[in-house]
Amino acid sequence: DVKVTQSSRYLVKRTGEKVFLECVQDMDHENMFWYRQDPGLGLRLIYFSYDVKMKEKGDIPEGYSVSREKKERFSLILESASTNQTSMYLCASSLDWGHSYEQYFGPGTRLTVT
C-alpha cells in the first residue's frame, strides 16, 4: 500500500511565523501535490512537483512556497503565516503523469493561525 504521511495532524501558529509542513511518500512516486481544503470549496491546488527540485504553481500559490530536495519528500512553506491561511492542508502523490488522476493522500494537517 502507498503511504503518504504528513508531519503533524494539528498545528497552531501565530501570525507572521514561518511554517513548514512536511510530506513523505514511500512508493517512489514522481508527482507530489499540496492542496488546501476549505468547507464548500473542495480542494484547491497550491503547488505540485513532477520531479526533484521541479515545481509548478497551482491555482492558489500566493503566500506559499515549496521545496522538493528528495523524491520522497515535499515541503510546503508559509513564509509569513496569516489568519486567512487557517485551513486543512492535504498532501498527495501519484505515480506519474499517466496516473495523475489516481492520487494518494495523506491524512492532512489542520493549521490554525492566530
Contact residues for other proteins, defined by CB under 8 A:
4, 37, 40-45, 48, 58, 90, 92, 97, 100-108
Nearest to other proteins of 86, 100 (CB atom) = 100
Q: What is the CA radius of gyration of the chain?
A: 13
- Check: CB of residue 54 under 8 Å from CB of residue 41: no
Nearest to other proteins of 16, 47 (CB atom) = 47
Place of cell 491524512: 107
CB of 2 to other proteins, least distance (A): 10
CB of 64 to other proteins, least distance (A): 17
